[in-house]
Chain A
Amino acid sequence: MIWKEILIRYGELSTKGRNKKDFINRLRANIRHTFTDIAPLEIITERDRMHIKIENEDQFEVLMQKLPTVFGIQSFSPVAVCEKDLDAMKNLALIIMEQFKEQELTFKVEVRRSDKKFPLESHEIQREIGAHVLRNNPNISVKVKKPDVELRIEVRQDAIYMMAQIIHGAGGMPVGSNGKSLLMLSGGIDSPVAGYLLMKRGVRLEAIHFFSPPYTSDNSLEKVKVLANELTKFGANIRLHVIPFTEIQVLIKERVPSNTIMTTTRRMMMRVADKVREEIGALGIVTGESLGQVASQTLESLTAINNVTNTPILRPLIAFDKLEIIDIAEKIGTYETSIQPFEDCCTIFTPANPKTKPKVEKVNYYESFTEFDELIERAVRNREVYKFPEENKVKDKFEGLL
């Protein structure tokens, strides 16, 4: 195999100094985490780029496949290596340019000659290699300013390094470089997308799910676990807190007028979430709310729901259309899971005519007759926590049967 390493260019790097070092260290840790299955990787970091050494073809394939999902990478390139000999260089240049042979394009050769003892000067290498590529590829022409492809040759102490292809990364910032938040994960289409967008901005997530058996089934919980697991592929572990919510939900139904059930339910969820957030030391709460999508997502409803906490509530989808959200969900691979038809906690007990413009005072008044605090404490205390990605696959239930 000609590929010897992958060169990674960092994403948005407006930060400087110590923050920059954190950014780079974080990215390296996330890459190691993403590729634990092909570990150990040798990663060399520099100020403005990172090199991953490639040992074998399997490693190369896994890297090429998964690197585009890791946040904090602007772009990356597979780098080929050959010995320090002009014929070998010519040969390698042709192999690399082979991938572009279907199209008309412009190119130039860029040389970085850090081994000053190499017999050929930079411009000589440029001329020799450039001419050789042109002779063998009638579809390619030279353009010095803004060529389609830049064939980059580096003459280093140990060997010649060459690359041409630039693959787009996921952009954004390394997960974890912007603190931690708690994602309210319902199992629908929106919340995983909201989580994804925050992760893209470097936020580490934990997730919370409200589980109301028997009104919601194990299948719906299973679905949420799958979604949480899906999100881990963007470069971080996720813990999922599953809250036993039946008791609270049933009580709400008994105690508040039916058109307020939905608002109160949301407020209770928010109060539970806030408690969990505090315990795990997260700074914000992330939701998949999008303005006007359903009754609970009007500005009036959001105000009433928000009223129970001062914690910043991050709503990355607030101005997104449903179709835009679906697009992202399909892209990140959560859509198919999300649309599985299981009841979730938001769709049970929904009254025919929920209030779209609840008033905070009134909701407070209705709730004032019931002591919810203790139930909330209990729900938080009795939560179950799952860690993703699952470290040891659960034992095969069907083992031995087949």
Chain B
Amino acid sequence: MIYLDNSATTKPHKEVLDTFVQVNESFYANPSSIHQAGVEANTLLDRARSQIADILHTEEQFVLFTAGGTESNNFAIFGVPKANTHKGKHIITTEIEHASILEAVKSLEQEGYEIDFLKVDENGVISLQELQDKLRKDTVLVSMMHVNNEMGAIQPIEEAATIIHENSRATFHVDAVQSFGKLPIAFNEDAGPDIISISGHKIHALKGSGIIAFRKKMNIIPLLLGGGQEKGLRSGTVAVPQAVAIAKAARLATQNMEQRNAEYRKWHNDLLEFLAGFGESIHLLSTKTGAPHILSFSVKDLKGEVLINALQKRGIIVSTSSACSSKQKKTSHVVEALDIHSNYKKGVIRLSFGAFNTQDDIREFKKVFTDVMKELKGDKNK
């Protein structure tokens, strides 16, 4: 099986799984307990936390472990505005965010918050001018994904941060679930994002683990209340094995990132060229300037589902634009936002690369895809 759906989830690294099992076997105590085993588990948790703080260039106290990307995103979307009601009730985000952002802001809208959605161009990128125009005195939060999960567009995070910090008092949250470990993203002293969301299972760690990290001391209200773990900001017994596993996966993901990136880019460019060869039959959603590990395109007058099944029969796993929304019948909001011709709206599929993919996988995909196109459409790669 050739697995090309790494933006949906990844296969955990062997060494990460080993860590997970070992920590469960040897350091399973509650890190809040005062007995020796608890103290030990807590020491290990601190080590994991400081490893992530180093990677993200922030302090240990600003790294919290969550149950995943959705929780981290929800935490930022609900936690920041509710702690800053004295500043206002205006929130800015984009129209191509992940559901865990969009549904959260819609819920806030019901409560009387005002939400502005930034538009994107045909490349899936926002306009910095529009961002600047929409910023207001009472804007409390701007939330933006770094890399789009459905087609890989990269938002200009650094520039956006500068505009936001110079023109408002808003907190800047970046959903880095698709970018962490693929593109450089970190805090820095005086610019950049204020909050970052990370998910474990997108970087070959485990499902059910995530991180929310802050650049500095944040005015934020917790989502989960209870025993006051994680400095009172995220109650619930901290899942030490998940935390250690995600710390290890984060190290593995970032340590030879550039090298892997270069490889993904090579495949990405190769495939863009290959797909362009099908002419009218294929519309490319991803561009050369997008993230190197996500490639999405649409086949004319064809349902994505049909393509997926045809490829699957030949051992290749891809998905429609997003796994979360692929079971729903309606067209993805991202596809809608990109404003593509209706002939291409139904047939969007996405390839996403991960650490286990090789050059051979790409070659095989090209071969199989050519056959599938011939079978389904009678088309040839000219």
Chain A contacts to B: CB under 8 angstroms: 217-219, 397-398, 400-402
A217, A400, A402: the one contacting B48 at CB < 8 Å is: A402
Question: Can you name the residue of chain A whose Cβ is closest to the Cβ of B250?
Answer: A402
Q: Does B119 contact A (CB under 8 A)?
A: no
Contact B247 A402 (CB under 8 A): yes
| A401 and B51 alpha carbons, distance in the complex (Å) | 12
Contact B22 A402 (CB under 8 A): no
Contact B36 A398 (CB under 8 A): no
B36, B39, B40, B251: the one contacting A402 at CB < 8 Å is: B251
| A400 and B23 alpha carbons, distance in the complex (Å) | 11
What 1/0 mask marks residues of chain B from 32 to 44 whose CB sits below 8 Å from any chain A CB?
0001100110011
Contact A398 B44 (CB under 8 A): yes
What 1/0 mask marks residues of chain B from 14 to 30 whose CB sits below 8 Å from any chain A CB?
00000100110000000
Interface CB pairs A-B, < 8 A, 24: A217-B35, A217-B36, A218-B36, A219-B36, A219-B39, A397-B40, A398-B43, A398-B44, A398-B47, A400-B19, A401-B19, A401-B22, A401-B23, A401-B44, A401-B244, A401-B248, A402-B19, A402-B47, A402-B48, A402-B51, A402-B244, A402-B247, A402-B248, A402-B251
| Residues in chain B near residue A398, CB distance under 8 A | 43-44, 47
CB distance from A220 to the nearest CB of B (A): 11
* SS class, residues of chain B in contact with chain A: helix
| Residues in chain A near residue B48, CB distance under 8 A | 402
| Residues in chain B near residue A402, CB distance under 8 A | 19, 47-48, 51, 244, 247-248, 251
| A69 and B47 alpha carbons, distance in the complex (Å) | 31
| Residues in chain A near residue B248, CB distance under 8 A | 401-402
| Residues in chain A near residue B36, CB distance under 8 A | 217-219
Considering the complex of A and B, which 4 residue pairs feature the smallest CB-CB distances, nearest first?
A: A401-B19, A218-B36, A398-B44, A402-B51
| Residues in chain B near residue A219, CB distance under 8 A | 36, 39
CB distance from B63 to the nearest CB of A (A): 14
- Total residue contacts A-B, CB cutoff 8 A: 24
| A218 and B37 alpha carbons, distance in the complex (Å) | 11
Chain B contacts to A: CB under 8 angstroms: 19, 22-23, 35-36, 39-40, 43-44, 47-48, 51, 244, 247-248, 251
CB distance from B68 to the nearest CB of A (A): 20
CB distance from B254 to the nearest CB of A (A): 13
| A67 and B51 alpha carbons, distance in the complex (Å) | 33
**Given A401-B248, A402-B248, 14 more pairs with CB closer than 8 A:** A219-B36, A397-B40, A398-B43, A398-B44, A398-B47, A400-B19, A401-B19, A401-B22, A401-B44, A401-B244, A402-B47, A402-B51, A402-B244, A402-B251
Question: Can you name the residue of chain B whose Cβ is closest to the Cβ of A341?
Answer: B34
| Residues in chain A near residue B244, CB distance under 8 A | 401-402
| Residues in chain B near residue A397, CB distance under 8 A | 40
CB distance from B37 to the nearest CB of A (A): 10
CB distance from B238 to the nearest CB of A (A): 15
| Residues in chain A near residue B247, CB distance under 8 A | 402
| A218 and B51 alpha carbons, distance in the complex (Å) | 27
CB distance from B134 to the nearest CB of A (A): 42
| A229 and B22 alpha carbons, distance in the complex (Å) | 31
CB distance from B206 to the nearest CB of A (A): 14
| Residues in chain A near residue B47, CB distance under 8 A | 398, 402
| A398 and B40 alpha carbons, distance in the complex (Å) | 10
| Residues in chain A near residue B35, CB distance under 8 A | 217
CB distance from B105 to the nearest CB of A (A): 36
| A209 and B305 alpha carbons, distance in the complex (Å) | 73
Question: Can you name the residue of chain A whose Cβ is closest to the Cβ of B22?
Answer: A401
CB distance from B96 to the nearest CB of A (A): 35
| A219 and B22 alpha carbons, distance in the complex (Å) | 24
CB distance from B324 to the nearest CB of A (A): 31
Question: Can you name the residue of chain B whose Cβ is closest to the Cβ of A218?
Answer: B36
Question: Can you name the residue of chain B whose Cβ is closest to the Cβ of A217?
Answer: B36
CB distance from B101 to the nearest CB of A (A): 30
| Residues in chain A near residue B251, CB distance under 8 A | 402
CB distance from B302 to the nearest CB of A (A): 46
CB distance from B50 to the nearest CB of A (A): 9
| Residues in chain B near residue A401, CB distance under 8 A | 19, 22-23, 44, 244, 248
Question: Can you name the residue of chain B whose Cβ is closest to the Cβ of A401?
Answer: B19
| A217 and B34 alpha carbons, distance in the complex (Å) | 10
CB distance from B209 to the nearest CB of A (A): 14
Question: Can you name the residue of chain B whose Cβ is closest to the Cβ of A398?
Answer: B44
| A290 and B86 alpha carbons, distance in the complex (Å) | 56
CB distance from B65 to the nearest CB of A (A): 14
